[in-house]
Amino acid sequence: MKRIHPDRFLLWAFIVAATAFCKLSGPAEPSPTGVPPAELTKWEETLREAGASAVELAKFEDLVREEPPADLASFEEYLQKTPPLSFVRILRSILRNEKEAVPSAIFPGAAPVMPCEALRRVSIPDGTIDSTAIAASDGSCRVTATVVHPPAHNAIGVFIALPSKGWNGRFRGTGGGGYAGGSIESLNVPVSKGYAVGATDTGNKDGTAKFALDAHGKPAWQRMRENAYVGIHDMTVVGKALTQAFYGKAPRYAYFVGGSTGGRQALTEAQRYPQDYDGILALYPAIARERYVPAQLWPQILMREANDFLPREKREAATAAAVKACDGADGVIDGVIGDPTRCKYDPTALVGTKVGDSTFTVTDARIIRGIWEGPRAHDGSFLWWGPTPGTDLSVLTDTGGAPPMGKPCEEGLDWFRYFGFASAVPTPSSVEMIDAVMQWVEHGRAPERLDAELMGNHGEPVRTRPLFLYPKVARYKGIGSTDKAVNFISNAQAQ
């Protein structure tokens, strides 16, 4: 089974998606079976130079240690292709998410009403309990179950963790990443915060896309449905039943938290099984895969059709010009465009400018405009969105060699790199967002704003910035540090 470290949705999704993408263009390299100590030291030295602290390096070692040997090749490839600073930011994000608070107990003093092993006898719809065990690491009761549905009878694995003490009265479902439905590892952080928590492999045991075809190469529709939404619902039903049996009380609230594939699972849960959860946090949902994955190739198509492969200097010049033109619209010149969707900069302004060894041409400007606009059909109709002006285009439009040629595989890798951490833009932590969802569900207070943070070299925020409900955006008050959220208001307040 594909393993995912808790709160590693992003990192994991990058690796799987990048690997899957690259496999389109060439055969995979065989996997090594471990990381030699000298190599590990080399990686750590690189990360230290990029500003990683001792705590962050320790977390990195944990990640490497927990990575199954079969996945190390893609992990290594990811490390080599990711700018070290981006990887350090991922480590910071993981550490930040582990700081989630323990919510107040809804049933103070609630305790198990039966031993963990007695859960073997609980009956669950369409399934069986396979095992129960007390986890040595945290003392929680761990249950594995299998759910099957006719006519295919695929085995959907369900993993549940129940705190032996300090249950906070809530159930939490967790989602997956890439093609994997979820993993046992994602139980660890929530159960340590007192949640009864569940995960599922959705029947996709190896975490690849192979499940989509049957042994005869035909679409395996039932397995696809189980991976898409049935498995998450099954996990939720089983998780709630076991929680009720173990504590003698149903959970008062249920939450689902997922990012990437987990974010897509979160949205589809809300649509198909609205009774399952009281609150759902859908982080960076990877929806419409059949459109966004091909859309990554659009810049390469534009360059190939024009036979004009833009060197890095031209892409960077266009990005820098867009940032320069639109940066101030949010009231502060800080290299961040507050609302890039409203940036209407036209790169035609660069035509004739000397960039590196060449001159920016009309064709270059047309390609940049087309990239920002996004894929369009032959008749000009909309297919998908492009990256907004100001996006680092090196990530989407990679070229190499002399004369320069397109590098689609790199582009695919970099797309995922871009979505995560390639920029210096502050992001809200999932910890804060989970709290916002709980405040909304349990106290009826919907979030008006979230405070985003950019983490510094020692794990504390170096820049905070409010995020408002769209279409509101943050505006600088004009006084005080531009690195402090308190000095920003929404554009609606400013008017």
Residues in contact with Ca ion by the rule CB under 5 A: 327, 330, 332, 334, 336
Q: Give the end-to-end CA distance of the chain in Å, rounded to a whole number.
A: 54
Dihedral angle sign, alpha carbons of residues 257, 261, 267, 271 = negative
The Cα diameter of the chain in Å comes to 77
**For residue 270, how many other CB atoms are within 10 A of its CB?**
14
Q: Which amino acid is at 323?
A: V
Opening angle at CA 435, ends 429 and 439, nearest 5:
145
Helix H or strand E segment including 295 = helix 289-295
Q: Which is nearer to Ca ion, 330 or 411 (CB)?
A: 330
Q: Which is nearer to Ca ion, 98 or 334 (CB)?
A: 334
Q: Which is nearer to Ca ion, 154 or 464 (CB)?
A: 464
Q: Which is nearer to Ca ion, 205 or 342 (CB)?
A: 342
Q: Which is nearer to Ca ion, 68 or 471 (CB)?
A: 471
- In the complex, minimum distance from the CB of residue 430 to Ca ion, in angstroms, rounded to a whole number: 25
**For residue 180, how many other CB atoms are within 10 A of its CB?**
27
| Token pair recorded at residue 172 | 């939490």
- In the complex, minimum distance from the CB of residue 70 to Ca ion, in angstroms, rounded to a whole number: 44
**For residue 69, how many other CB atoms are within 10 A of its CB?**
11
Q: Which amino acid is at 294?
A: P
Q: Which is nearer to Ca ion, 325 or 367 (CB)?
A: 325
- In the complex, minimum distance from the CB of residue 397 to Ca ion, in angstroms, rounded to a whole number: 23
Beta-bridge mates of residue 127 = 124, 147
Q: Which is nearer to Ca ion, 199 or 322 (CB)?
A: 322
What span, in angstroms and rounded, lies between the C-alpha atoms of 95 and 53? 12
- In the complex, minimum distance from the CB of residue 335 to Ca ion, in angstroms, rounded to a whole number: 7
HSE-CB at 275 with a 13 A cutoff on CA atoms is: 3
| Token pair recorded at residue 41 | 């030291």
Q: Which is nearer to Ca ion, 276 or 330 (CB)?
A: 330
Q: Which is nearer to Ca ion, 266 or 473 (CB)?
A: 473
- Burial of residue 431 (CB within 10 Å: 0-12, 13-18, 19+) is middle
- In the complex, minimum distance from the CB of residue 334 to Ca ion, in angstroms, rounded to a whole number: 5
- In the complex, minimum distance from the CB of residue 492 to Ca ion, in angstroms, rounded to a whole number: 18
Q: What are phi and psi of 4, to 5 degrees?
A: -130, 130
- In the complex, minimum distance from the CB of residue 342 to Ca ion, in angstroms, rounded to a whole number: 12
Bond prior to 151 in cis (omega within 30° of 0)? yes
Give the dihedral of Cα atoms 364, 367, 373, 374; nearest 10 deg.
-150
- In the complex, minimum distance from the CB of residue 488 to Ca ion, in angstroms, rounded to a whole number: 11
- In the complex, minimum distance from the CB of residue 470 to Ca ion, in angstroms, rounded to a whole number: 17
Q: Which is nearer to Ca ion, 320 or 383 (CB)?
A: 320
C-alpha closest to that of 415 among 264, 281, 282, 299? 299
| Token pair recorded at residue 235 | 């996990």
Residue with nearest beta carbon to Ca ion: 327
- In the complex, minimum distance from the CB of residue 329 to Ca ion, in angstroms, rounded to a whole number: 7
Q: Which is nearer to Ca ion, 89 or 465 (CB)?
A: 465
Q: How far is CA 286 from CA 83, 223, 225, 268, 360, in A?
A: 23, 19, 16, 11, 35
- In the complex, minimum distance from the CB of residue 90 to Ca ion, in angstroms, rounded to a whole number: 25
Bond prior to 83 in cis (omega within 30° of 0)? no
